[in-house]
Structure 1
Amino acid sequence: MQGVLRGLWGYRGFILGSVKREFQSKYRNSLLGAAWTVLNPLSMIVVYTVIFAQVMHMRLPGVSNSFAYSIHLCAGVLTWNLFAEITSRAQNTFIENANLLKKLSFPRLCLPVIVVANALVNFVIVFGLFTIFLLITGNFPGLPYLAVIPVLVLLVLFAIGLGITLGVLNVFFRDVGQFFNIALSFWFWLTPIVYSIGILPPRVQTLIRFNPMTLVIEAFQVILVQKLWPNWFSLWPVVVLAILLCLVGFNLFRKHSGEMMDEL
């Protein structure tokens, strides 16, 4: 593991340069440029807010704050988008960069690191603006806001562990990527993002809590909506799962990296 970290550190210039080039190329020849980073999640939030809050008159149980549902929605959508971007891109990163892998010699794990770095750049921009919104409307959670950092680290570990595992499998079995894209759509609606888990029947709530993303999204919502510290003990299943996925993904990559080059 130390050798891997030293290798990644030695290629930090390559990683940072790749992140910068991708960010610039993403918005090249675009009139609005990086504004699309904000407009895409914003449009989704507006649509869901109109449909669920205005049309269906959905409210959060026991919360009278007029901004509560919007904050609940933003906390869920923004963090889900980070998870979805990391996992979706990580599962395809080895296939998409096949030519680069064959032409250049560099630590292959640089590619997942680049995926995470790009996703975090986009997330920091959007979440920074969301934080400004919280400050302006008087809904900033105060000290519990610091809890966002460890929960975010947990989310990234879970996402990259799952992403690398899928990425290696996807090289050998291309159906894995197609299946996961479909599963991700169902996964979104099985996570309490646009609705509150409190409106569900007790039996369904129990089933929904087996979803690891439910625990992570709920932690963000407790911090940002209720302005409280999350229940750290409730996150232990996600911690265990994230560590296991990282170990499985790393071992799969280490054992099959040579075979991957032949498949690519």
Structure 2
Amino acid sequence: MLAAAWRYRHFIWASIVRDVRARFAGSKLGLVWSILHPLAQAAIYTLILAEVLGARVPGIDDRTAYPVYLMAGLAAWGLFSEILTRSVSIFLDYSNALKKIAFPRISLPLIVCGGAIFNHVLLLLAVGGLFVLLGHPLTIAWAIIPVGIILISAFAIGLGLILGTLNVFERDVAQLVGVVLQLWFWLTPIAYFLESVPAQFLPLMQANPMTPLVQLYQGAMLYGRFPTNAEFAIASAIATLVLIVALFVFRRASADLVDAL
């Protein structure tokens, strides 16, 4: 499957460009909307949690620290949720193309992933500039962010492949994913800190596969530190394992995929 995807790399790249253009066709601001939406969400959370409820980063006496922590977590979560949400319905969205055109089916989640990463990079550039304006300079630890992008994308595309394949045979999967994602967001330390979680719920938060991936972003952007070997090993193992399982499931089900559509 990967060899076939490589042979069709020009088709995948052209499809990514077309997908990005189509999403903002007719819009005067175009790609700017992909930056404004997450920034607006971060601003709302900051206003409610930091200004109204007085949320502060433990151990840091800086009013700008919490917005930085929040935007770092939202950036990581946004990449994950966009790839996962679109991957779940990708085979249904492209059902006509799958029936009429011969191309590797693995190309579709790769196209979704490419478009999401493009939007994510634009957001990171805007966030980096905003951090500088807030008096929070960028550090060398930002160099780990591309690795974080790869790990989050691998985890999201793996999970999306599994659920997207299931969604072809059972259409309620997409609806369930939307509900689960809302709960999953609040089970991930994005708007709060692990230090503030009651002891009885801490194992649940630590078992969350998105926790180490989000903390990789937060550690680099706020604390200016690289992940420890243990943190990096856990994040890498989760992403790799889910992706391998997804490719196995997809390979087994791909023969019946078009018939089910």
Give TM-score scaled by structure 1 length: 0.94
Trace 1:161-240 onto structure 2 (pairs within 5 A).
161-240=158-237
Trace 1:86-235 onto structure 2 (pairs within 5 A).
86-235=83-232
Q: CA deviation at 1:102?
A: 0.5
* Alpha-carbon distance in 1 for matches of 2:221, 2:240: 26
* Alpha-carbon distance in 2 for matches of 1:46, 1:75: 13
* Alpha-carbon distance in 1 for matches of 2:163, 2:232: 23
Q: Is the 8 A contact 2:82 2:116 kept in 1?
A: yes
* Alpha-carbon distance in 2 for matches of 1:54, 1:152: 30
SS at match of 2:201: helix
Query: Per-residue displacement from partner, 1:167-195 (whole Å, max 9, x unpaired)?
Result: 11111111222111110000001111111
Identical aligned residues as a percent: 35
Q: Does 1:68 align with 2:68?
A: no
Equivalent of 2:12 in 15, 24, 28:
15
* Alpha-carbon distance in 2 for matches of 1:5, 1:103: 22
Q: CA deviation at 1:228?
A: 1.2
Query: Per-residue displacement from partner, 1:47-101 (whole Å, max 9, x unpaired)?
Result: 1010001111111111112210010010011110100000111111111100000
**Higher mean C-alpha deviation, range 202-211 or range 76-85:** 202-211
* Alpha-carbon distance in 2 for matches of 1:168, 1:232: 34
Q: Gaps spanning 5+ residues in structure 1: where?
A: none
User: What letter corresponds to residue 169 of structure 1 in structure 2?
Assistant: L
Q: Is the 8 A contact 1:87 1:159 kept in 2?
A: yes
* Alpha-carbon distance in 1 for matches of 2:107, 2:91: 11
Q: Does 1:250 align with 2:221?
A: no
Q: Is the 8 A contact 2:56 2:63 kept in 1?
A: no
Structure 1 vs Structure 2 CA RMSD: 1.4
User: What letter corresponds to residue 38 of structure 2 in structure 1?
Assistant: P
**Higher mean C-alpha deviation, range 30-39 or range 238-247:** 238-247
Residue number in structure 1 paired with 2:56: 59
Q: Is the 8 A contact 1:141 1:228 kept in 2?
A: no
Q: Is the 8 A contact 2:144 2:226 kept in 1?
A: yes
* Alpha-carbon distance in 2 for matches of 1:33, 1:144: 31
* Alpha-carbon distance in 1 for matches of 2:127, 2:229: 24
Residue number in structure 2 paired with 1:85: 82
Q: CA deviation at 1:141?
A: 4.1
**Higher mean C-alpha deviation, range 95-104 or range 132-141:** 132-141
* Alpha-carbon distance in 2 for matches of 1:158, 1:234: 15
SS at match of 2:207: coil
* Alpha-carbon distance in 1 for matches of 2:131, 2:51: 21
Change (3 A) 1:207 1:169: same
Residue number in structure 1 paired with 2:41: 44
Give TM-score scaled by structure 2 length: 0.95
Q: How many residues align?
A: 261
Query: Per-residue displacement from partner, 1:204-260 (whole Å, max 9, x unpaired)?
Result: 223211101111111211111111111231243332232222122111211111211
Q: CA deviation at 1:136?
A: 3.7
* Alpha-carbon distance in 1 for matches of 2:141, 2:150: 16
Q: Is the 8 A contact 1:168 1:249 kept in 2?
A: no
